[in-house]
Amino acid sequence: DGNYCLTCGSDKTLKLWNPHKGTALRTYQGHGYEVLDAAGSFDNSQICSGGADKAVALWDVTTGQVVRKYRGHAGKVNCVQFNEEATVIVSGSIDSTVRCWDCRSRRPDPIQVLDEAKDGISSVKLSAHEILTGSVDGRVRRYDLRVGQLCSDYIGSPITSVCFSKDGQCVLAASLDSTLRLLDKDTGELLGEYTGHRSTTYRLDCVLNELDTHVGCASEDGHVYFWDLVEGSLALSLPVGQGVVQSLAFHPRLPCLLVATQGQVTLWREDAFQPEGDPN
Amino acid sequence: KMAESSDSEGEDLVSYGSALQPLQEGERIKKPVPLQEQTVKDAKGRYQRFHGAFTGGFSAGYFNTVGTKEGWTPSAFVSSRQKRAGRTILGPEDFMDEEDLSEFGIAPKDITTTDDFASKAKDRIKEKARQIAGVVAPIPGTTAFDDLIGPSKITVGVELLRKMGWKEGQGIGPRVKRKPRRQKPDPTVKIYGCALPPGLSEGSEDEEDEYQPENVTFAPKDVMPVDLTPKENVHGLGYKGLDPSQALFGVSGREHLNLFTGGSEETSNLLGDLRHSKGRKLGITGQAFGVGALEEEDDDIYATDTLSKYDTVLKDEEPGDGLYGWTAPKQYKSKNRPEREFKYIGKVLAGFSLASKPSAPIKIYPPPSLPRNYRPVHYFRPVITAGNESCHLQKALEESTGKLESDPTHQSRHALNAAQRREQLGETELKGSPAPSVLEYLSEKDRERLKEVKQASEQQMKAKTVSQQSPNSRFQLASPEEAAHKWQMLLGGQVANAGSSDFKPFAKNPEKQKRYENFVKSLKRGEKGERLERFFDQNMTEWERGREQEEFFRAAMFYRSSNSTLSSRFTRAKYEDDVDKVEVPRDQENDIDDKETAVKMKMFGKLTRDNFEWHPDKLLCKRFNVRDPYPDSSVVGLPKVKRDKYSVFNFLTVPEPTTSVTQATNEKIQESNSLNKPKKSSRWDVSDKEKEKKDSISEFISLARSKADVQQQPPVPAKEESGTGTTETPLTAVIDEDKNQEEESRRPPMDLFKAIFVSSSDEKSSSSEEESDEEQQPTTSERQSETTKQVDTADSSSSNLQENVTASTDSGISSLPTSKQELDATEEFGPKLPPAFSSGRFCKHLDRKEKHRKTRERHKTKKERKRKKEKKKKHKKQKNKGKHKNKKSEKDSSSDTTDSSDSLSDMDTTGLSPKELLRR
């Protein structure tokens, strides 16, 4: 919810941080290989993570134990997400399937497997009733549970990251042709295109800021680029580090950005920034 | 009152149970005792439990004193100097009450006959007494019946066997004279006084038979019952774990095993193991009595390993099985069996034995050889065999010659189509029904050709019927000829068109290619049968020739899509290539190629989007707090359609009915088309109207002017999307209505519409258009003045434009119809449509196709217009800047610049949306 930060890495652990103070709160060990993605539940009580050991793990935050481990993916798990109520974990893997795991029951097998993608899943995002997946086969698929429909938008080059806009009307997709595209969710029409950064090999994140006014994306040249959403013009490029900016996360409500690069996480914010609430 | 009456009639009534105590006056009725407090006490007032330690009803302690204040009273403990506590051996009886020792307790003292001895072993004395009684009894022999009635525990088979002298424990069969078994002297085991108990195993029995009297015969060995214990573990068949009793006892155990290896292998392992373990205990080998000083066998206790106990030479077989019962299968070493049978086995599992007879080898029948012209699909060919019915048919054919439609009518009942049948029946034509056949849609030229072909084929047929008079030739020629005929009928004019010069299916084999070309040519001319044969290599066998002919036909059929006139409508069938797919998704994401182009042109939207029906899992819906969109479907994921597995034969048969998949997709597409139509029709209709007017440039100019005029008055969008604008509405509305009426019948429910089309884009675009209009408003007047100037440039550029229409830079909508058409073409014509489908739906699609073509043309013109406008704009801008370039350079750069400007403007207009939506 903006108070904590989860990092995961090739040391097979997850770490929970307080990014505002810069303190490490807890380390979660249990994955067999590097951890590729992690996400926290809405109430900060649980963490899900997916790693190169093909397993999706559900962690208890306070005890640091693995509550459940879901095996079933045939390849590395690239991305994991909780749904709104943290009852379902949706994980995408390079085995080109998205699997929905039940957190409530003790079912070892997924509730549903979305195997429409022709290539690995690079990114998964969830809204209240939608599952948005970006795949290396160059398609952004949106599974609408309420309507019972699958919308597949062809982008062309492999998708590295997708995300919903805050208003839920648009879909931002970053692809390996160094382009971010803003698509209309309902029609699939192109609303905006943002270029300037470099993204050709790595799975880089893209974000929208807290007000949907800017579009941000990590780049391989050590910068984080921000574009004006409407005009499509480059608004800002943050020089973060030398290497590839691996991950990017924007605070859900405040102008505050987390950037991971080369084994360190940096927090960017305005000077007059006040972290909301008491992070306890 | 009741009591009185019952008292008075007391004698007559039968009373059950104990009577209730009469109620005292004034006494409150006792509450019934709840179930858990109801207790049962025995005769001594002790509580009886229904489920107790052993049988229940067994009270613990002294009168249930365990746990009470008195507590347990143990047996009196007395110990003094004089009187030591005697060592009392307590049996279970000491802990039991008297009831337990009574007749029905757990340890009855009375001797009763058990079931085993109850009826079969009768007391002799009793029997005698009974016999006597029977004699004495008034009716003699009654007691004999008792015997009969008495239950017999022995089965009839056993009884019979006993009568024949069988004793339990023996085998069945004639008595055998047994060979004296060679007893192995075993120095290590010393059998003391008592021998191994007989009957424990046959092996030990055998040992006793040291001498063999000549005249003694033995009963055959008992057959071991089949071991019926079910296999409960997951070990391999016949696996037994390491037996610790054997493994741990070391050498002596092993040596003991050695004793039995020779003789008793044939007995089952089950018994064998038992014997081994028991035999060790029972076969008193000295250790049982402790180790004496004089005895050498002390290896068990003072285990001194000597080298002599180990094998120094690798032998072929280990002593014992060497496995300590680890895995059960033992070396099968019986000598009296033929060796060759189990040479390859080595070990036989417990419970299994080698078959005495080798199983009969499975006979393999060769598959039936297919006849040359075998087709797996039945084809109703017009039956024209010479002979009995030919005269009638011939007559019919003769009178129908020259008529295009009527010749199939008389061929066969099955060859009729619906229209013909209707004609024959004299029914009126259905109103509004689609045109009766595909032929209507072929061009005049094609139709002519088709006619020719048909006539020729008719001629041919007649000739054939004549030629078929000679019976032997008929039989040989009929099939290829008929096949050819069939092919020709099927392909019709299309084959005739095929094989145009650029297409070379047999390019690898030039001779064959040549033959093929000749063949096609002749086919075009409508030649048949024998005359076609001459194109084939004379050196080839008849079969080869027939095959090649088939091949040529197929090739001609297959590649007819390369035909110039039809190629635009046909693409390769989508499902033809993936032969071994069994189940395919009903909707597949369609071709990437056109999407690729769309992406390149940045025309996202409908082109790049595929919508599928997708069924989420019920549980997933529940977890997401979403109502199940398909509450009564059991499908999860994308709906799938079962599909027949393609076989090789599918290539041979052309008139294969379309698979359900293609049908489904077709219908789906159709649906989506009909969905799209009402929405788009307005735009098309506008252009339609416009198109009528602007056939020449002059007309176009006037139109542009009038349009510009119109645009000045109300705030009408100047963009192409403004087709839906206000000025044209009266006209378009009318046409819309027409269209809608057309569509009305097959329109899906409204919510489907909504799901797909109710999007915010409409509102967005309209609002954004208004904004853009305001910008453009002042420019229009200037533009008008410039139109005349710009016409020539626009015209010249339009020729370029026409070539790359699809490369337009619109927001994807303007070029949509064209690509849509392509899409249609792939979907509709990709899979081969059988002739059965040529009515109805097919026609409609053709119809639509034509419409599409028109609209494409319209769009071309429209685009021209638009381009001009844009150019005007640009021109104006440049003027303002003062950079007045010459027109040529502008023309060159026009496409590029318009690209960027368009995309920019698009972004401007549409990019606003989220913000606006946020505001809302």
Lookup: tokens for B236: 């391999």
Higher pLDDT, B634 or B867: B634
B503-519 confidence digits (pLDDT tens): 555 656 667 777 777 77
Determine the average pLDDT of the residues in B434-462.
Answer: 62
Q: Distances from the Cα of A124 to the Cαs of A6, A78, A160, A198, A201, in angstroms?
A: 17, 9, 10, 22, 19
For residue B462, pLDDT over 50 is answered with: yes
Q: Cβ–Cβ of B612/A150 closer than 8 Å?
A: yes
Shortest CB distance from B914 goes to which of A102, A114, A167?
Answer: A167
State how far the Cα of A70 lies from the Cα of A59, in Å rounded to an integer: 12
Q: Residues 304-323, chain B: which have Cβ within 8 Å of A?
A: none
Place of tokens 């509405």: B729
Amino acid B36: pLDDT: 66
State how far the Cα of A33 lies from the Cα of A54, in Å rounded to an integer: 9
Range of lowest pLDDT (A254-268, B132-146, B376-390, B644-658): B644-658
Amino acid B648: pLDDT: 42
Lookup: tokens for A113: 């497997």
Asked if B621 and B563 count as a contact pair (C-beta separation under 8 A), the reply is no
* Minimal CA separation from A158 to chain B, in Å: 13
Helix axes B471-491, B542-558, angle to 10 degrees: 10
**Percent of chain B predicted with pLDDT > 90:** 0
For residue B901, pLDDT over 60 is answered with: no
Higher pLDDT, B587 or A163: A163
Lookup: tokens for B466: 């004549």
Mutate which of B592, B612, B624, B756 to disrupt the A interface (most A C-beta within 10 Å)? B624
B202-220 confidence digits (pLDDT tens): 444 444 444 445 555 566 6
Strand partners, A121: A135
- Local structure of residue A244 (DSSP, 8 states): -
CB atoms within 10 A of CB B717: 20
For residue B56, pLDDT over 70 is answered with: no
* Minimal CA separation from B810 to chain A, in Å: 12
CB atoms within 10 A of CB B325: 22
Tell me the domain boundaries of chain B. Answer: 481-566, 599-646
Lookup: tokens for B375: 């087709």
Provide the CB-side half-sphere exposure for B418 (13 A, CA). Answer: 14
Mutate which of B583, B597, B602, B608 to disrupt the A interface (most A C-beta within 10 Å)? B608
DSSP strands (E only) in B517-614? 583-585, 609-613
Residue A180: name the closest of A135, A130, A225 by CA.
Answer: A225
Residue B268: name the closest of B326, B215, B330 by CA.
Answer: B330
For residue B575, pLDDT over 60 is answered with: no
State how far the Cα of B202 lies from the Cα of B200, in Å rounded to an integer: 7
pLDDT tens, chain A, 280 aa long: 567 888 877 778 888 888 777 777 888 888 888 888 888 888 888 888 888 888 888 888 888 888 888 888 888 888 888 888 888 888 888 888 888 888 888 778 888 888 888 888 888 888 888 888 888 888 888 888 888 888 888 877 888 888 888 777 888 888 888 888 888 887 777 777 888 777 777 777 787 777 777 888 888 777 788 888 777 777 777 777 777 777 777 777 777 777 777 677 777 766 554 444 333 3
B808-845 confidence digits (pLDDT tens): 434 434 444 444 444 444 444 434 444 443 333 433 44
B343-389 confidence digits (pLDDT tens): 444 556 666 666 777 677 777 888 888 887 777 777 665 554 444 44
Shortest CB distance from B624 goes to which of A129, A190, A192?
Answer: A129
Most confident by average pLDDT, A2-11, B492-501, B765-774: A2-11
Amino acid B130: pLDDT: 60
Size of interface A-B (CB pairs under 8 A): 164
Residue A51: name the closest of A93, A88, A99, A7 by CA.
Answer: A93
For residue B103, pLDDT over 70 is answered with: no
State how far the Cα of A44 lies from the Cα of B160, in Å rounded to an integer: 83
First to last CA, chain A: 12
State how far the Cα of A192 lies from the Cα of A215, in Å rounded to an integer: 10
For residue B802, pLDDT over 50 is answered with: no
For B833, the 3-state DSSP assignment is coil
Amino acid A2: pLDDT: 67
Sign, CA dihedral B101-B105-B106-B109, equals: positive
B282-297 confidence digits (pLDDT tens): 444 444 444 455 545 4
All residues at 6 or more sequence positions from B597 whose CB lies less than 8 Å from its CB, including other chains = B806
Residue B600: name the closest of A179, A151, A240, A14 by CA.
Answer: A179
Lookup: tokens for B349: 């599992």
Provide the CB-side half-sphere exposure for B297 (13 A, CA). Answer: 17
Q: Cβ–Cβ of B636/A88 closer than 8 Å?
A: no
Amino acid B820: pLDDT: 41
Place of tokens 């971010």: A180
- Local structure of residue B327 (DSSP, 8 states): B
Find the residue in A nearest to B920 (Cα): A167
* Minimal CA separation from A76 to chain B, in Å: 23
Lookup: tokens for B664: 């489904």
Tell me the domain boundaries of chain A. Answer: 5-204
Asked if B870 and B898 count as a contact pair (C-beta separation under 8 A), the reply is yes
pTM over 0.90: no
Amino acid B393: pLDDT: 53
Q: Confidence band (pLDDT; 50, 70, 90) for B99? A: low
* Minimal CA separation from B680 to chain A, in Å: 15
Residue B252: name the closest of B216, B304, B209, B326 by CA.
Answer: B304
What architecture (CATH level 2) is domain A5-204? Answer: 7 Propeller (2.130)
* Minimal CA separation from B585 to chain A, in Å: 10
- Full DSSP string of B588-628: ----HHHHHHHHHTT--STTTEEEEE-B--HHHHHHTT---
B39-52 confidence digits (pLDDT tens): 666 666 666 555 44
Q: Cβ–Cβ of A188/B613 closer than 8 Å?
A: no
CB atoms within 10 A of CB B239: 15
Shortest CB distance from A149 goes to which of B613, B621, B623?
Answer: B613
Pairing type for strands A55-60 and A66-71 reads antiparallel
Q: Which residues of A touch B811 (CB under 8 A)?
A: 189
State how far the Cα of B870 lies from the Cα of B872, in Å rounded to an integer: 5
Cα dihedral value B741, B744, B750, B754, nearest 10: -60
Determine the average pLDDT of the residues in B97-105.
Answer: 63
B868-886 confidence digits (pLDDT tens): 444 444 444 444 444 444 4
Phi, psi of A199 (to 5 degrees): -150, 100
Residue B835: name the closest of B624, B655, B606 by CA.
Answer: B655
The pLDDT mean for chain B works out to 52
Q: Which residues of A touch B814 (CB under 8 A)?
A: none
Strands of the A264-269 sheet, one edge to the other: A245-250, A256-261, A264-269
Cα dihedral value B735, B736, B741, B747, nearest 10: 150
Residue B456: name the closest of B402, B518, B399, B397 by CA.
Answer: B402
Lookup: tokens for A240: 């973060």
